[in-house]
Amino acid sequence: MSVPWIEKYRPKTLNDVAGNEATIARLKEFSVLGHIPSLIISGPPGCGKTTSIWALARDMLGPAVKDAVLELNASDDRGIDTVRNRIKGFAQKKATLPEGRHKIIILDEADSMTEGAQQALRRIMEMYSSTTRFAFACNQSDKIIEPLQSRCALVKYSKLTDKQMTKRIVEICKLENVNYTEDGIEAILFTAQGDMRQALNNLQCTFSGYGLVNAENVYKVCDEPHPDMMRDYFEDCVHGNLKHAFVKLDKLYKMGYSTDDILSTTSRIVKYVDIPEVLKLEFIKEIAKTHTLAVQGINGRMLGSQLPTGITTTASVATTATTSEAPTTFNEFNKQVRRLVDEFEILNKQFLADAHYVNDYDKVLRDNQNKITLANEELVGLEKEKDKCVSETETINVLLKEVTDVVTGLEKQLGITDIDSNSPEFAKTSDVKRQNLLQMFLAADAQMQQLEEDVGTLVREIEAISKSTNKDQTGSDTFEEIQQILASQMDQLVFVDKQSETLAKKITEIRNKL
């Protein structure tokens, strides 16, 4: 189960390709002759466009197909640079091929290429037409510019029929020993809608998940409304049973299906309902109108409720137009009026319920929007606080590093670095050293204070001597007494001066270290 079956059973030659027999026969003639033109192959997804080109290349080129074929997905590589570089480089490359054969460049999803890239291809196709052929695979050929269309042969593919797909699916089921039922194969065909790739993917997923391919398991894997439920819903709409139709519609919404899912499945159911073709066409028109509104963005339960009403009205008008009964009596007319009134009341209730639902939903959306706005504002504030905290943390880290450097230098000078920082003695020794350093600082401060007091005492003694001196005493006697006092205190003053300088230096060093 590790290899996808779409790759495991991808056809290798044109004889293995399923469906589009006339187109495949035309390609077989090209492979025999060898001289093929450039091709534009258009068709729906999963019909075998790219597979057919590769099968044609294998039939024509044989073992040289690896070196002579370049495949690009134009949905990814669609710019003009790809054309100028990769495509032109491959067209210039020389390859050894059988006589009369050409290199092939496959451009898948070519309708996604830009117009500039398509314009650039024109000259390359002309310059290397003798050695290289181009094959454009696309879903819509009108997306290819006309100058390229005129240089290529147009080949159109169609969806595979149920018979062609059934044959291929049953073959793969036998090869993989898949347990399946008839309704399981029909469910695969219903969900694939002519897309072989989708059919094989659904088949492999169902078998891998449940081990049995039946209708119930297929619809679970594909997650589509069950056709039987949709058929009952559609028949209620056709017969005017709006009440039952709305009950089934509400059940589908509660199961999680969208309006688009319901419309898509209803459009497929119409093809299999046993009703006149004219009426079937009118129903398809009504479904198409509703689907158009859904595509334009008008979606939801209210739009889904419009479909059963439109189908019922269309069926009623068509029935009235095709019947040729006698004129309606008053009683019959009154009954029809009452029935229409009842239907209107049902629709009015449904509309009010939907309106309340929309209003509640809108209120929830507005509340959530306000909460989101407040949350965004709080988030902005938290971001600012975060930035502020980060900045403060960085500043603290810088200061911490500076303090650590100062402390480390100080401890080195005090001889603490010889002790292991992890040992218990480290903290004890560091505390003793720091205590001694503090005592030295306090002692120096005390000596400075003592020096200030001594100087103050000396000044006061001089002032006292000056005041006590006799006023008529000559100035020379006073000056001699002062000199004697200063001489007696000179030694002490010199000692104080030296101690002051020494203590000032120590204090400065201690402050620098701290």
448, two tokens: 């400075």
For the ranges 241-250, 300-309, 388-397, 398-407, the maximum mean pLDDT occurs at: 388-397
| Residues present in the chain in total | 514
Instruction: Name the residue among 298, 309, 233 with its Cα closest to residue 260.
Output: 298
Residue 67 CB partners (closer than 8 Å, separation 6+): 95, 96
Q: Write b or e for each residue in 444-465: b if 16 or more Cβ atoms lie within 10 A of its Cβ, otherwise e.
A: beeeeeebeeeeeebeeeeeee
Beta bridge partners of 41: 137, 155
Fold of 5-156: Rossmann fold (3.40.50)
Out of 41-55, 84-98, 214-228, 327-341, the most confident range is: 41-55
If you search the block for the tokens 């009026």, which residue do you land on? 337
Q: 339: pLDDT confidence band, cut at 50, 70 and 90?
A: confident
Residue that wins the pLDDT comparison between 235 and 213: 213
When mean pLDDT is compared across 111-125, 261-275, 387-401, the lowest value belongs to: 261-275
Q: 72: helix, coil or strand?
A: strand
Output b/e per residue, 67-86; b: 16+ Cβ within 10 A. Answer: ebbbebebeebbebebbeee
Neighbour-count burial of 66, counting CB atoms closer than 10 A to its CB (0-12 exposed, 13-18 middle, 19+ buried): exposed
Is 315 in contact with 241 (CB distance < 8 Å)?
no
Give the separation between CA 413 and CA 430, rounded to whole angstroms: 12
Q: pLDDT band for position 472 (50/70/90)?
A: very low
Q: How far is it, in rounded angstroms, from Cα 407 to Cα 401?
A: 10
* In contact, 22 and 164? CB cutoff 8 Å: no
Q: Which CATH number fits domain 162-222: 3.20.20.60, 3.30.310.10, 1.10.8.60, 4.10.95.10?
A: 1.10.8.60
Q: What is the pLDDT of residue 59?
A: 86
Average pLDDT estimate for 119-135: 87
Q: How far apart are the first and last CA of the chain?
A: 77
Encode pLDDT of 163-220 as tens digits.
Answer: 888 998 999 899 888 888 888 888 888 888 888 888 889 898 888 888 888 888 888 8
Going by pLDDT thresholds of 50, 70 and 90, the confidence category of residue 340 is confident
H or E stretch including 482? helix 475-513
Q: Which region among 47-61, 131-145, 452-466, 481-495 has the lowest average model confidence (pLDDT)?
A: 481-495
The string of DSSP codes covering 182-238 is HHHHHHHHHHHTT-HHHHHHHHHHHHHHHSSB-HHHHHHHHT---HHHHHHHHHHHH
Supply the pLDDT for residue 463.
67
% of the chain at pLDDT higher than 70: 73
Mean pLDDT score of the chain: 77
Q: Is the pLDDT of residue 384 over 80?
A: yes
Closest of 143, 146, 217, 153 to residue 179, by C-alpha: 217
For the chain, give every domain's residue range: 5-156, 162-222, 227-319
Which of the residue ranges 41-45, 311-315, 360-364, 442-446 has the most confident prediction, judged by mean pLDDT?
41-45
Angstrom CA distances, 424 to 187, 412, 429, 432, 466, stand at 83, 18, 9, 13, 64
**325 pLDDT higher than 60:** no
**What is the rounded average pLDDT of the residues 468-486?**
55
CB-based burial of residue 253 (10 Å sphere; 0-12 exposed, 13-18 middle, 19+ buried)? middle
pLDDT at 481: 60
Answer yes or no: same fold for 162-222 and 227-319.
Answer: no
The pLDDT score that the predictor gives to residue 74 is 66
pLDDT band (50, 70, 90) for residue 228:
confident
CATH no., domain 227-319: 1.20.272.10
For the cut 50, the answer to whether the pLDDT of residue 471 exceeds it is no
Region 397-402 average pLDDT = 80
Quick one: what percent of the chain has pLDDT higher than 90? 0
